[in-house]
Every structure is written in structure tokens, then in C-alpha cells.
Amino acid sequence: MKYLSLLIFGFALISISGCEEEKGPANLQLVFKGLFDGNTLVLNEDNTYVNGIPMRMSHLQFYIANIELKGDFGTIVKDIDVVDFSQNHMNAATAAQGETMTFEDVPPGTYTGLKFGIGVPPALNSMQPAEFAVGHPLSNTADHWTAWNSFIFAKVEGRSDEDDDGIFSGSILYHTGGDDLYREYENNSGFILVEGETTTVTLTLDALELFYTATDTLDIINNGVSHTTPSDQVSVDISTFVMDNFIRAINVE
Amino acid sequence: MIRLVLFALASILFVAACQTDPLPPPPPPPPTTCLSDEDLSAITYAPVSYEPAIPTNFPPLIVPPDNQLTEKGVELGRKLFYDPILSADSTKSCFSCHQLGKSFTDGLAFSPGIDGTLGERSSMALVNLGFTPGPFFWDGRTNTLEEQALLPVEDPVELHDSWENVVCKLSNHSEYPELFREAFGISNANEITKELTAKALAQFERTMISGDSRFDKVIYEQQGFFTDDEWNGYQMFFDLATGVLPDAECGHCHNAPLFTTNQFRNNGLDEVFDLNDFPDLGLGAVTGNLFDNGKFRIPTLRNVALTAPYMHDGRFETLEEVIDHYNSGGNYADNLDPLIYPIGLDSTQKAQIFAFLHTLTDLEFTNNVEAFGNPF
């Protein structure tokens, strides 16, 4: 009889604990929303450049590396990925949603901000697409440039209409790469990840800000194309300018 | 009393028979099948993995989990590829438009189907498709090689048969049931399907690997040298000699080692001021996206000297015409690729690009009758 009571008590305990709500891991959604001069970026739509020239963005993508959630127990949730604005930014209906990366099973807690690289870190950049499994962000030969032996860190493409006649005859193409152009972005906007819940952190990237600073503006008419050719200092300078501007162009929404 | 009841019943039947409602449609005929029910279970099924020789500088081969390459699967695919049994009148096969010596093209701008009707696009080279994540075709209409292999059979300007008929022919064939058994382990001839047929074709296509050209030998294997012209062409192709030679802008879309980036671009073939005006909408007809109109798959340049005529519509007969087109900057459209602009190559430089393109010819591949030739 004594043992029976213990058994019943044990079952009761198990039953009560079994009724507690099970909580899953914390998830983080990192959303990148493309902008152009503060407005939602829609690829191939007419925009106006800094100096008033009509222009269109047709493609925008960049590698994002070592995505770190800052905090006392900060953690790197992904070593490399691609932010490609041609997924949702091709039309106005979906552009406002941004491009989403989801990180599952992240330790819950309070984080003090985000940190990540823009481009491909040297250790990975020394490798070839053929060394990565199919589907890996670095497996695509379209994003590797044999001439530099480097991945293409960022692709900024579009067209310009210099004489404002409605014909966007000018090419805009800035492809950046090479170890020296790897950059790091960091913010101090804290967020909390709760067990069993998905938290969304939204960043914006204003494409227009890639083209200018307070003192300089890229000449998209006469220097509209750059492949970061190592032997061409002008080309290297343009790509350096663009990569430096990524840091300023990315902001917390 | 009994007579009264019988009369009443007869009257009801008569009235019912005289109703004017339309008769229901006749039931569909019972499914007829021409499939053989030959039992194959006594035939040994012992799949052996097929390991193609992949150049070390190539990316990993893309093989779906449910269609791993086997020796018997590849063998079956090769046989099907060359067998006109896939066409309605048994006159044409995949081989008709994809010939080994031409890097699996046919030398025509548009290929005639079994009815003599010309297709609307030039046949694409079947080279290194196993490294292509897709989509396939000039317009990207299928996502996998298996899906790709399904379409030509029923295309009215190609093999113009029905899969139902083709499967029946295969099921009743004197050899194919056994070959399908050995390749896929089916236990009865009635288990042959179009999906299995496409899988076999895709397996064979994945073995068509070309990576042994002079370019590969010189650049990757350090065997031999380029001529001066080839070397200069190589430098311009990949923009390796800035300040000395112009950037011909080729490598961006035709990057090594596959010499395609598997993307879809408008390379300036047609001048249009309204994106709806392209004579062939290409990718746009598949995606419905206006800015995809006039975009086509970037083809590989491996063996390009063997694959004339060029472009999706075969409009250029020679490589010289192709080089002239890109050198000119192409024709305007709102979605013209930004890499297409006047290059400014002189005649010597164009000839050097031409010379370099010829280094991409892989005769080890196009002469490999043992692996890729007609098994019949």
C-alpha cells in the first residue's frame, strides 16, 4: 500500500510536469530591406541619381559573413551567406517584405547588437567554388572571379540615362572583391530572443548611399563599370569606395 | 387487384421512360493499356554506382538523391538517347538534334521535328549539364534535368509522340523491360514510366563532361603553352591585362571552369523600346516578369568552335559575327545587360579572342565514341 501511494504520487508529478508548455528554441529572422534614397527599392524602376541623372538599379547582392549576435555570450549564427535583393525586390508588391534569413535554434537571451562582415573572409576567399557542396553560398561560379582569384563580394548593377531621353543607355556595374575589400559592419541595437519565439531584426540598405559620401560622388557616366581590376587603380578605388559605403548604407529599421 | 397493381407499375415505368431529360453521358471506357505485364523479377538487379571522371577544378556534380548514377542507368539512358523509339514515327531521337561531334548540337539554327516543322530555337549543347543547378532550356522552363528530359517527346515540333505511347512501346520491347529492371529494379514491365525514362536520360546526360581542352591543359594542368594570340585573347577574355589590352568583358558571363554562369541575360540581340516587343520573350514567357523578356540562358563556351550557328535563334553563322556583335555593344533595350557596351577591340584583338575561344575545344570529349557514341 505504501509503494502504491508512492507510485500514484510519482505518476501525478510526471503528469503535472507533462502538462507544462514545451518551449522550443529561439529563432532569429534577419530581414534586409532595400531602399533607394529612403524609399523602398524596386529593381528596374526609375530613380534619380545624386546629380539628377535618371538611373535604375537592376541587381544588388552582397556576401554577408560571420554573422555574430553580440552579448555576454555572443554567438556566430552563420559563417557565410548571400543577401540577394533580386528575390523580393523585383516588384513593388514584395519589395517591402525585404529579404529574410532565418536562424533557428539560437540561444535565447538578451543581445546587445549585430556584427557581420561584408564580403568573404580571407580564409574562405582563398577557396574555389568547386570546393563547396552544391547549394552552399560559395558554390556558385557566377559569384567567383577567376581573374582576381576572389569571390565577388558585392554586385551593384543598373543603367543610367545621361541625357534624360528615356533611353537608359549607360551601364552601371560595380563588382567588388579581393581580401583588402572585406569590411565589417556592427551596430549596438539590442534585441531579445525568447525561447520558443521568433524575433525579427530588420536592417535597411539604401542603395543610393553606395554611390556617394559627403565629399565624393561616383561618376556613373564616365566610370560606370568597375571589376576591381588589381592593375587598374581607378577601378580599385571605385570598388573600395563602394565597399566602404556599405557600412554607412546599412541601418537598423 | 393484382392487375391493378401491375397496371400502376407499368404506368409509372412508361412515364419515367418518356421523360425528356437528356441521357447521362456514357461512362468513360474502361482504361485500356498496352503495357506488357512481363514478370522481370527473375532478372538480377544489382546496381553498381557510376563514378564519372570529374576534372579537379570543376564544381561537384549535381545528382538528385532519387536518381543516383548507376552503370546500368547510364547505359539505359544512352540507349534511349539514340533510339528513335521516343518519336511517334520512329525517325528521330535526341541524337537527331544533339550530335556528339558538334558537342551535342546539330549545326542548324532551327531543328526540324518529325513532321518537318522547324523548332523555334537552336538546339543547345549538352555539355556539363550535371554541374548546372538549372533552370534548363534557353528560357529556363524546367528546373531539373529529369524534367527537361520529359519535354521533347511530346513537343509537336520535336518527337511529337505521347508519353503513354512511348511507355507502351518500351514496355513491349524485346530489350527495354530488362534494361529498366537492371537500371531501376522494377519487377514488371508494366512499371516502366515516363519518369523512369527521363531519369535514365538524365543519368546519361550527367556523364557528358567536357573539361580536357587546351585551355584546361595550359591553365589547370600546366601542360603546354598558348600561342601569343591565344594568350592575348585569354588576357582580354578575363580582363587580366588592364592598361595593356582592353577588357573584352567575356568572362563575367562565361566564367571558368564551366564557361557559363548559368544565368539569364539580355545580351543585346534585338533593339526594342518596349519590353513586350521582343520577337521571342525567352525567360519572360516563363516567369511572367516583364524585365525577364528577351533574356536567355547563357550557354557554355566549351567547344564553342563546334556549335555554330550561335545564339538562341542561330542568327550568327560564325564566331567572328558573335565577336563583332559584342564588340559593337549590342542593341538597346531597357533590360540590356550592363556588361554589354561597345568594347572597342581592333581587328587583331578580335582575332585573338577568336583564337582563344578555339582553345576551349575538347576533342577528347567530342571524339569519345566509346562513352558517348551511338550504341546501336
Nearest alpha carbon to residue A86 among A62, A121, A59, A56 = A59
pTM of this prediction? 0.87
Q: What 8-state DSSP symbol labels residue B116? A: S
Residue B11, burial from CB neighbour count under 10 angstroms (0-12, 13-18, 19+): exposed
Express each pLDDT in B282-338 by its tens digit: 999 999 999 999 999 999 999 999 999 999 999 999 999 999 999 999 999 999 999
Asked if A129 and A50 touch (Cβ cutoff 8 Å), the reply is no
Q: Which residues of A touch B65 (CB under 8 A)?
A: none
Nearest alpha carbon to residue B306 among B105, B108, B121, B128 = B105
Amino acid identity of B178?
A: E
Give yes or no for B283 touching A (CB within 8 A): no
Partner-chain residue, chosen from A135, A145, A171, that has the shortest CB–CB distance to B339: A171
* Least Cα separation, residue B221 to chain A (angstroms): 16
Q: Tell me the angle at which helices B145-154 and B194-206 cross, rounded to the nearest 10 degrees.
A: 120
Give yes or no for B216 touching A (CB within 8 A): no
Residue B257: asked if its preceding bond is cis (omega within 30°), the reply is yes
Torsion of CA A8, A9, A11, A16, to 10 degrees: 140
Secondary structure (H, E, C), B140-156: CCECCHHHHHHHHHHCC
* Least Cα separation, residue B40 to chain A (angstroms): 36
Express each pLDDT in A59-86 by its tens digit: 999 999 999 999 977 789 999 999 999 8
Cell of A233: 587603380
C-alpha pair distances (Å), B309 with each of B111, B137, B139, B345, B360: 12, 17, 18, 22, 17
Q: What angle do CA A89, A153, A187 make, to 5 degrees?
A: 75
* Least Cα separation, residue B338 to chain A (angstroms): 4
Binned at pLDDT 50, 70 and 90, residue B2 comes out as low
Residue B177 CA to residue A182 CA, distance in Å, equals 58
Q: What 8-state DSSP symbol labels residue B307? A: S
pLDDT of residue B257: 92
Residue B164 CA to residue B33 CA, distance in Å, equals 9
Nearest alpha carbon to residue B190 among B168, B157, B215 = B168
pLDDT of residue A145: 87
Binned at pLDDT 50, 70 and 90, residue B15 comes out as very low
Express each pLDDT in B138-151 by its tens digit: 999 999 999 999 99
Residue B198 CA to residue B185 CA, distance in Å, equals 16
Q: Which residues, numbered 117 to 156 in chain B, qualify as contacts with chain A under a Cβ-Cβ cut-off of 8 Å? A: 133
Average pLDDT of each block of 10 consecutive residues along chain A (253 residues)? 50 44 78 97 96 95 97 89 93 92 93 97 94 90 86 97 94 96 97 95 98 96 90 92 97 95
Partner-chain residue, chosen from B239, B241, B332, that has the shortest CB–CB distance to A167: B332
Residue A84 CA to residue A32 CA, distance in Å, equals 9
ipTM of this predicted complex?
0.84
Length of chain A: 253
Whether A134 sits inside 8 A of B133 (CB atoms) is yes
